[in-house]
């Protein structure tokens, strides 16, 4: 698969910058320096400039960035200047939690269907979104023009779900199941490992302890 | 707060390397080169060497790394050579999903209690873990010597929960609520924004489209 030379950490920071810019825009601020963005989100000004430089020239030296312009530029880079239709596979606790996650809607993601194979769940609505049987996966994805699928099924079923998605027009998969999946080249796959977040925490806690212990 | 100069992306990759090393160790492999680790996880060999170099010298030039030694060294760097006791605040869908998340146990995290303020949930067990009322937060955290708390409540209650946690012996907070939280200096806070994962996907999908469109 073709990959970009832009570090993933840069994309994550762009996402953070865009949220911060939305926030200062709501306060009526029109111009902002890299130093102010840096202060607002807790990185260095050089990092902000470096991240933005990947995508061309934005600011005016000595003046800074136009808040709205920069916001929309980043939103476009992130591919968020359009609404993405998302289906969720798995109407268990995780799938249900994801279907209600406010953060998705805020950023232009629209959940258009949830799929499960438990007969008693079919036909119900979760947060206004209908639960469909797995047999209707391809039909609903195509009817709703869904581009992204979120896999929220137990690990042992994840590859089977991925195989079924590969037969649809889905372009990207976000996989929450702790299992390595194989998908065809034309599908963009991203795995979410929730433990990594805890490990970033324990790394810092262990480091603090070693400092305290004087090592 | 004291912070390390080690990039977060490096810590995330160390976590990935350690999972890969555990996998090759199970296959009986005893020695591995940076090139083989790189191939296995999909980064460059130079990146593997650079990431490991932050923590001193490991391998032997021309021989490579001892798989078990390197695995345990990384586990120790990540602070995972000990079991961490975790409490979850919020027994809704997300809290319930997290209490059942197999990935946590695999990496040495033990959920010792779940807290909620809905009377009908109290006393139940989720995946073997008792649901306690919020009033018992401090008592249970201290009894179970929990070091980490996961906030999985609706955004509007998250700061109140963080304030209550600040009065306990909790050392780290993993916050899933889409809200910026204030915590005292002595608590390590990490926010999980689930939308960022979708945005890393849309960034790549938007990039593919622009390639197709010949721009």
Query: Crossing angle for the helix pair B194-212 and A67-77, nearest 10 degrees?
Result: 80
Tell me whether A86 touches chain B (CB under 8 Å): yes
The pLDDT of residue A130: 95
Nearest Cα of chain B lies from the Cα of A35 at a distance, in angstroms, of 19
Closest CA to B174 of B120, B123, B101: B101
Domain A8-77 sits in CATH at 1.10.10.10
Tell me whether B148 touches chain A (CB under 8 Å): yes
The interface predicted TM-score (ipTM) is 0.85
pLDDT, tens digit, for every residue of B88-139?
A: 999 999 999 999 887 788 888 999 999 999 999 999 998 889 999 999 999 9
CB contact under 8 A, A208 and B2: yes
The residues of chain B that CATH labels 1.10.10.10 are: 8-77
SS3 B73: helix
pLDDT (mean) for B1-28:
83
Which chain B residues are closer than 8 Å to A193 by Cβ?
15, 103
DSSP B179: S
Question: Three-state SS across chain A?
Answer: CCCCCCCHHHHHHHHHHHHHHHHHHHCCCCEECHHHHHHHHCCCHHHHHHHHHCCCCCCECCCEEEHHHHHHHHHHHCCCCCCEEEEEECCCHHHHHHHCCHHHHHCCEEEEEEEECCHHHCCCEECCEEEEEHHHHHHHHHHCCCCEEEECCCHHHHHHHHHHHHCCCCCEEEECCCCCCCCCCCCEEEECCHHHHHHHHHHHHHHHHHHHCCC
Which chain B residues are closer than 8 Å to A204 by Cβ?
4, 79, 172, 188
Residue A123: how many CB atoms within 10 A of its CB?
A: 10
Q: Are B67 and B21 in contact (CB under 8 A)?
A: yes
A77-86, B160-169, B191-200, range with greatest mean pLDDT: B160-169
Beta-carbon contacts of B46 under 8 Å, excluding residues fewer than 6 positions away, are none
> Which residue would you say has higher pLDDT here, B189 or B2?
B189
Q: Which token pair is B134?
A: 């919020």
The pLDDT of residue A43: 85
Tell me whether B24 touches chain A (CB under 8 Å): no
> Which residue would you say has higher pLDDT here, B74 or B180?
B74
Nearest Cα of chain A lies from the Cα of B65 at a distance, in angstroms, of 22
The residues of chain B that CATH labels 3.40.50.720 are: 84-195
pLDDT (mean) for B24-46:
91
At A72, the pLDDT band (50, 70, 90 cuts) reads: very high
pLDDT, tens digit, for every residue of A9-60?
A: 889 889 989 989 998 999 999 999 999 999 888 888 999 999 998 887 776 7
> Which residue would you say has higher pLDDT here, A62 or B132?
B132
Residue of A nearest to B155 (CA): A102
| Facing A155 at nearest CB: one of B78, B84, B102 | B102
Q: Which token pair is B47?
A: 């990146």
Least confidently predicted of A141-155, B3-17, B60-74, B108-122: B3-17
Tell me whether A63 touches chain B (CB under 8 Å): no
At A214, the pLDDT band (50, 70, 90 cuts) reads: low
The pLDDT of residue A4: 54
Q: Which long-range contacts (CB under 8 A, 24 or more apart) does A47-55 make?
A: A47/A13, A48/A13, A48/A17, A50/A10, A51/A10, A51/A13, A51/A14, A51/A17, A54/A6, A54/A10
pLDDT (mean) for A141-167:
96
Return d(Cα B147, Cα B144) in angstroms, integer.
Answer: 9
| Whether the predicted pLDDT of A103 surpasses 90 | no
| Whether the predicted pLDDT of B2 surpasses 50 | no
Nearest Cα of chain A lies from the Cα of B135 at a distance, in angstroms, of 25
Return d(Cα A187, Cα A162) in angstroms, integer.
Answer: 10
Domain A84-195 homologous superfamily, CATH: NAD(P)-binding Rossmann-like Domain (3.40.50.720)
Angle at B114 between CA B108 and CA B118, to 5 degrees: 165
Residue of B nearest to A199 (CA): B78
| Facing B195 at nearest CB: one of A94, A109, A211 | A109
A31-32 and B125-126: which strand pairing?
unpaired
Strands (E), chain B: 31-32, 65-66, 84-89, 109-116, 125-126, 129-133, 148-151, 172-175, 188-191
| Whether the predicted pLDDT of B56 surpasses 90 | no
CB contact under 8 A, A104 and B198: yes
Which chain A residues are closer than 8 Å to B8 by Cβ?
9, 200
Tell me whether B97 touches chain A (CB under 8 Å): yes
Q: Half-sphere exposure of A191 toward its Cβ, with a 13 Å CA cutoff? A: 18
Q: Which token pair is A152?
A: 């929220």
Q: Are B172 and B151 in contact (CB under 8 A)?
A: no
| Facing A93 at nearest CB: one of B93, B200, B203 | B93
């Amino acid at each position: 698969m073709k990959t970009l030379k832009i570090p993933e950490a840069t994309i994550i920071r762009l996402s953070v910058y865009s949220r911060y810019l939305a926030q200062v825009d709501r306060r009526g601020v029109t111009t902002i320096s890299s130093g102010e963005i840096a202060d607002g989100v807790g990185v260095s000004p050089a990092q902000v400039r470096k991240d933005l430089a990947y995508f061309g020239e934005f600011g005016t030296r000595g003046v800074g960035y136009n808040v709205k312009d920069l916001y929309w530029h980043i939103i476009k880079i992130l591919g968020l200047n359009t609404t993405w239709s998302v289906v969720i596979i798995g109407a268990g606790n995780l799938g249900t939690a994801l279907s209600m996650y406010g953060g998705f809607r805020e950023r232009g993601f629209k959940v258009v269907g949830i799929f499960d194979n438990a007969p008693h769940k079919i036909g119900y609505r979760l947060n206004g979104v209908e639960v469909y049987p797995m047999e209707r996966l391809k039909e609903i994805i195509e009817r709703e023009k869904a581009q992204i699928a979120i896999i929220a099924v137990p690990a042992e079923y994840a590859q089977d779900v991925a195989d079924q998605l590969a037969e649809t027009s889905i372009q990207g998969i976000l996989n929450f199941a702790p299992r390595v999946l194989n998908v065809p080249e034309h599908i963009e796959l991203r795995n979410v490992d929730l433990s990594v977040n805890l490990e970033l925490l324990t790394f810092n806690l262990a480091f603090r302890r070693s400092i305290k212990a004087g090592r």
